[in-house]
Amino acid sequence: MAAAGAIVPPLNQRPIKNTIVLFDVDDTLTPARLAVSPEMLQLLSELRQKVAIGYVGGSDLVKQQEQLGTKEVNVTTLFDFCFPENGLSAYRMGEKLSSSSFIEWIGEEKYKALVKWILHYIADLDIPIKRGTFIEFRNGMINVSPIGRNASTAERNAYNAYDIEHNIRPTMVEAIKAAFPDFGLTYSIGGQISFDVFPTGWDKRFCLKHVEAEKDRPDGVEYTTIHFFGDKAFEGGNDWEIYSDPRTIGHKVEGPEDTMAQIKELFF
């Protein structure tokens, strides 16, 4: 970890000009949900001497601090740019940038209409059992569950089988889409009992707006080359949108070892 405190050149004086290298976290920089290796940190530190680096992850900064930082080392000192929650919150050279939220984006009136509709729909839904917490309000999205998020493991398993057989979630998603066609929302069915609802485009591409804003700073850098490394670079995977975006050069990796091999190949 000796390299963590090393002096880094200012962003506009990195030898590889107008270039930033962005990384997914899980299975790209670290094994899924686990901590980063010292070898990876060393390589990132050396890479940072040459070019701007950042990460973009779906979870929050606390989780990324656990995976990438240590008690002594703040994760925001290890990267030029940190993008927790896909960039809904953002840190640049250790300083927090403005953050975004679902409720600010959608506004109270539209949100109220959406919640009223969803709760009515669930109230009328005839499924074997219901529990509690049908809508979970999160910073960047809402999570909707027809059975309710308080269901036990056994109840979740039973619900999941019922959902697959009766298409409960896909049918509900289609009904919401039809009721609010102009809300600009994206729906993602994941896990056993729920689906996420979030603004279209609020996937990992969201962080690119912070990258693009760099050019407007005094002595700012226009990043004309944006590399992205990620493991879920297939349709339906959470790296797909940014990986396939025309603004980025996408690199698909098999895991942290492969990420290190590809970095060495490209930059050293």
Q: Which residues of 197-235 are buried (b: 16+ CB within 10 A; e: fewer)?
A: bbbeebbbbbbbebbeebeeeeeebebeebbbbbbbbee
Residue 245 CB, nearest approach to Mg ion (Å): 16
Integer Cα distance of 224 and 208 in angstroms = 12
Q: How many helices (H) and strands (E) does the chain have?
A: 9, 11
120 phi-psi bin (left φ>0, alpha ψ -120 to 50, beta other): alpha
Number of residues that bind Mg ion (CB under 5 A): 5
Closest CB to Mg ion belongs to which residue? 26
Closer to Mg ion by Cβ: residue 44 or 168: 44
For residue 165, CA distances in Å to 159, 161, 171 come to 10, 6, 12
Residue 81 CB, nearest approach to Mg ion (Å): 17
- 216 is an active site residue: no
The answer to whether 179 touches 201, Cβ cutoff 8 Å, is: no
Residue 183 CB, nearest approach to Mg ion (Å): 28
- The residue within the footprint of Mg ion, chosen from 11, 20, 22, 27 (CB under 5 A), is 27
The active-site residue, picked from 24, 196, 203, 239, is 24
Closer to Mg ion by Cβ: residue 214 or 239: 239
- The residue within the footprint of Mg ion, chosen from 11, 14, 19, 24 (CB under 5 A), is 24
Residue 134 CB, nearest approach to Mg ion (Å): 29
Q: Is the dihedral of CA 80, 213, 10, 245 positive or negative?
A: positive
Closer to Mg ion by Cβ: residue 183 or 258: 258
Query: Cβ contacts of residue 262 below 8 Å, gap of 6+?
Result: 229, 251, 253
Residue 29 CB, nearest approach to Mg ion (Å): 9
- The residue within the footprint of Mg ion, chosen from 19, 22, 26, 92 (CB under 5 A), is 26
Q: Is residue 203 part of the contact set for Mg ion (CB under 5 A)?
A: no
Give the range of 26-34, 37-45, 125-133, 247-255 binding Mg ion by CB under 5 A.
Answer: 26-34
- The residue within the footprint of Mg ion, chosen from 85, 196, 214, 231 (CB under 5 A), is 231
Q: Which two tokens stand for residue 255?
A: 């895991």
Closer to Mg ion by Cβ: residue 91 or 229: 229
Q: What share of the chain is helix, strand, coil (3-state, %, to 5)?
A: 40, 20, 40
Closer to Mg ion by Cβ: residue 26 or 163: 26
Closer to Mg ion by Cβ: residue 203 or 231: 231
Q: Which two tokens stand for residue 89?
A: 């919150």
Alpha carbon of residue 62 to chain centroid:
14
Q: What is the CB-side half-sphere exposure of residue 109 using CA atoms within 13 A?
A: 1
Give the range of 35-43, 65-73, 95-103, 229-237 binding Mg ion by CB under 5 A.
Answer: 229-237
- 26 is an active site residue: yes
Integer Cα distance of 247 and 211 in angstroms = 11
Residues that bind Mg ion (CB under 5 A): 24, 26-27, 231-232
By annotation, the residues acting in catalysis are 24, 26
